[in-house]
Amino acid sequence: MSGHDHGDDGVSRRKVLECMTWAGTGVLWTVTGGVPRSLGIIDSAQAATAAAPGMSFLQISDSHVGFDKPANPNALGTLEEAVGKINAMPAKPSFMIHTGDITHLSKAAEFDNADRIISQAKLDVHYVPGEHDFLDEEVKFYRERYGRGTKGQGWYSFDAGGVHFVGLVNVVDLKAGGLGNLGAEQLAWLEDDLRGKSKSTPIVLFAHIPLWTVYPEWGWGTEDGGRALEHVKGFGSVTVLNGHIHQVMQKVEGNVTFHTARSTAFPQPAPGAAPSPGPMKVEDARLRSMLGVASINFKQNEQRLAIIDTPLQG
């Protein structure tokens, strides 16, 4: 993974803070001309969409349905608020991706509640699992609901609006002392999945844990994420969307844009800013400014997808 690190400057706290300042609530991705582009605020994204129609989709992440600790005693309620935000968007996204940790403890009732709320957005939802979605004894609830038609532990790909989307699973078979893990079988599948695709096809990879090394001390990275990125080398536009760290972070490296979305449940501290990455309790008045969703806008002839993070409030 070191090849995909920040290199000389490392992930300095200032850099992280800059990223944080830039962040909003949700991520709206716009894809036009094959490249996802991040706009930074919803209004400009919408303006851009009006100028050159493209395709937009929504990213929602880390809903942790069932979480009821002090950092947010009502995670189901804030998920419902996020869905309300989505429904209020003037331009309806084409579909939604959920980058995992749908539930907090993988209980059947938590999955049911999550589905009851998320379905109110009336959008197709493409899920990948977080580690919190595989906690039931038989590890069957997620697969029963969302695993149909997927390979291995739940990975798959699909095409929409001229973009090739790949949902990856990096929360299974984790090794002691290590980070997220894709595994040889999934990497071989990915290589095969991308084979023969035109290099001008925009690629969106999405998975729960960041595929790039954000902060290994807290496990925020994927052991073999660099190998997945090798398979997308040569593509003109690559966008990597993740969750897990409950805050917005973005990095652009050549033709690859990395982005993490906010949680709809509770914030987590900036890397190294607290003794642990656990749920961060903030003043009630601030909570909704730290939760949200993301919209992604995709326009023809633009290399980057526009990502707009929209907080629940503020």
Q: Which stretch binds another protein (CB under 8 A): 117-125, 250-258, 272-280, 293-301?
A: 272-280
Q: Which stretch binds another protein (CB under 8 A): 75-83, 90-98, 176-184, 304-312?
A: 176-184
What are the backbone dihedrals phi and psi of residue 57, each rounded to the nearest 5 degrees, phi first? -140, 170
Angle between helices 75-87 and 108-118 (to 10 degrees): 20
Among 154, 279, 292, 311, binds another protein (CB under 8 A): 279
With contact defined as beta carbons under 8 Å apart, do 288 and 268 qualify? no
Site for another protein in 114-143 (CB under 8 A): 131-132, 135, 137
- Minimum separation from the CB atom of position 204 to another protein (A): 26
Distances (CA, A) of 5 to 37, 68, 203, 256: 21, 35, 21, 13
- Minimum separation from the CB atom of position 241 to another protein (A): 21
Per-residue binding string, another protein, 25-64, x by CB under 8 A, is ----------------------------------------
- The continuous run of DSSP H or E covering 44 comes out as helix 42-51
Helices (H), 104-183: 108-118, 141-146
- Identify which of 38, 124, 112, 40 has the alpha carbon closest to the alpha carbon of residue 79: 112
In this complex, which beta carbon is closest to another protein, that of residue 49 or of residue 72?
Answer: 72
Report d(CA 275, CA 132) in Å as an integer: 21
Among 22, 52, 69, 162, binds another protein (CB under 8 A): 69
In this complex, which beta carbon is closest to another protein, that of residue 81 or of residue 101?
Answer: 101
Q: Is 88 in the site for another protein (CB under 8 A)?
A: no
- Minimum separation from the CB atom of position 136 to another protein (A): 9
Task: Tokens for 271, please give them.
Answer: 């890397």
Distances (CA, A) of 144 to 49, 114, 123, 134: 37, 15, 20, 12
In this complex, which beta carbon is closest to another protein, that of residue 107 or of residue 197?
Answer: 107
- Minimum separation from the CB atom of position 171 to another protein (A): 8
Q: Is 100 in the site for another protein (CB under 8 A)?
A: no
Among 1, 52, 160, 174, binds another protein (CB under 8 A): 174
| Cβ count near 183 (within 10 Å) | 17
Q: Is 218 in the site for another protein (CB under 8 A)?
A: yes
Q: Is 277 in the site for another protein (CB under 8 A)?
A: yes
With contact defined as beta carbons under 8 Å apart, do 37 and 302 qualify? yes
Report d(CA 245, CA 2) in Å as an integer: 19
Residues that bind another protein (CB under 8 A): 69-71, 104-106, 131-132, 135, 137, 174-179, 216-219, 275-279
